[in-house]
Amino acid sequence: VLIYRISRISRSLADTVNTIQLLDHYNVNLISTEDNLNTGDMFGRTIVYILGTFAELDRNNIVSTCRSGMMQRSKEGLWNGGRVFGYRSNSKKELEIVPEQAKVIQQIFNLYSNENWGYKKIACYLNSCNHKTLKGGDWSIQSIKQILDNPIYAGYIRWGQYVNWRKTNRKGKNDNYQLTKGIHLPIIDDNTWKKTQDLRKVNKNKFPKLYEGDFILTGLLKCPNCGASMISHRTKKRNKVNEFY
């Protein structure tokens, strides 16, 4: 297998070692033209492992530098990028309110905090009004929760909510995240935000989950029509204790 440089195949030493071992199983050598190395001889293989170590070190340094820069931006109240419903990013990477979407955001917070509507009822109402999500899909319980949980709408920038995302994904949630007043205009006021969060804490304890296990395919399966991630639910069987389907 011919490659340009060792760092191009992987910046993880473990991945590099596993790749070489897999190729060995099929009697295949890895040849790097830029490094002038061939894993067919022991000297070349040793140098490949050394270069793999430095490639991983370089990657970790890049990640660390990038995270430091993003953390500093958040401390200054600046948005670190990405699409968010209710706002758009201008040429200066600053958030600007999208009026039509902002009205939907205000409606969601009002229905939840003042009208005492549940997530499902709000989602069904928005869908009946033909309001679409940022990806053009229908609203769901999860999308409503994400809106209500995002402090950006109250004018804040959140940083560090998840740790070690590559390995833990959303399970690595960090409660001690950084929250800074942003330079962008809020869509809702502080009183509405605080009232909503207090109400969510109360409601969270009212309806405990029936099933605490993991659905390993959640988020991996995609809807063929809209492309949204599909999730699993476990519902208790009627008149049967401790049985679910």
- The per-residue pLDDT for 124 is 94
- The per-residue pLDDT for 10 is 87
Q: In the chain, pLDDT over 70 holds for what percent of residues? A: 82
Cβ atoms of 138 and 226 closer than 8 Å: yes
- Angle at the Cα of 141 from the Cα atoms of 245 and 241, rounded to 5 degrees: 25
Residue with tokens 């340094």: 61
pLDDT per residue over 31-78, tens digit each? 999 888 999 888 989 999 999 999 999 988 988 888 888 889 888 888
> What are the mean pLDDT values of the chain's consecutive 10-residue runs (245 residues total)?
88 90 92 90 90 90 86 88 91 91 97 93 94 92 93 91 62 75 94 94 68 62 75 61 54
pTM, full prediction: 0.65
User: What is the H or E stretch that residue 3 is in?
Assistant: strand 2-3
Closest Cα partner for 52 from 30, 25, 28? 30
Q: How far is the C-alpha of 131 from the C-alpha of 138, rounded, in Å?
A: 8
